[in-house]
Amino acid sequence: MPYEINETMLSEERIKERVKELAEEIEKDFHDEPIVLIAVLKGSFVFAADLMRDIKSSVQIDFISVSSYGSQTETTGKVRLLQDLDTNITNENVIVVEDIVDSGLTLDFLIDHLRMHKPKQLKICTLLDKPERRRVDLPIDYVGFVIPDEFIVGYGIDYAQQYRNLPYIASVKKI
């Protein structure tokens, strides 16, 4: 589709500030106990890297990779595991880190999958939440920003695998 990248929706500074606040909230909630972050590839790797560096308590990171079938911008609801964890999360304090929750189907699948390993706690942290698009109920523990139903890119989020490198978040407009 022909498109253009609009003006910034969330600046680098606003993101940075909010990520720091989330990290502080997490430290407090977990009383400085060790935490395992699980970043959902690929979109969340930028957020997870920044969040991790703002958490001062003991923190590990692992990655999990899933894919949803269907067209490039819409999920069909079928989620497939592409790469599993290699950390044992049994009895660990686990936080799944996402860049964005849209339909919620990716996380719905992942939560079921991760629960099987019996973590001590399983929390969800997302930088962005688009509640208008939700198709399943999800308990989200940490939300950076609630955003309107607009197509966005940057800070890890792609359009056809491009623009993940933008240090800010911008909306994309069809032209």
User: Which residues of the shown chain bind ligand PRP in the complex (CB under 6 A)?
Assistant: 40-43, 68, 75, 98-106, 158
Residue 102 falls in the annotated catalytic set: yes
Residues 31 and 6 sit within 8 Å (Cβ to Cβ): no
- Residue 92 touches which of Mg ion, Mn ion, ligand PRP, none (Cβ within 5-8 Å per kind): none
HSE value, Cβ hemisphere, 13 Å, CA-based, for 155: 28
Buried b (16+ CB within 10 A) or exposed e, 66-88: bebeeeeeebeeebeeeeebebe
Least Å from the CB of residue 173 to Mg ion: 18
The window from 15-23, 78-86, 109-117, 158-166 that contacts Mg ion (CB under 5 A) reads: 158-166
**Tally of CB atoms within 10 A around 114:** 18
Q: CB-wise, 30 or 63, nearer to Mn ion?
A: 63
Q: Nearest residue by C-beta to ligand PRP?
A: 43
Alpha carbon 129 to chain centroid distance? 9
- Residue 50, CA distances (Å) to 71, 93, 133 in order: 30, 19, 26
Q: Nearest residue by C-beta to Mn ion?
A: 43
HSE value, Cβ hemisphere, 13 Å, CA-based, for 47: 35
Residues 155 and 17 sit within 8 Å (Cβ to Cβ): no
Least Å from the CB of residue 43 to ligand PRP: 3
According to CB under 5 A, which residues from 30 to 49 bind Mn ion?
A: 43
The window from 3-11, 49-57, 134-142, 156-164 that contacts Mg ion (CB under 5 A) reads: 156-164
* Residue of 29, 62, 99, 102 marked catalytic: 102
3-state secondary structure of 89: coil
Q: CB-wise, 92 or 99, nearer to ligand PRP?
A: 99
Least Å from the CB of residue 92 to Mg ion: 27
Q: Which residues of this chain interact with Mg ion, rule CB under 5 A?
A: 158
Q: Which residues are catalytic?
A: 102
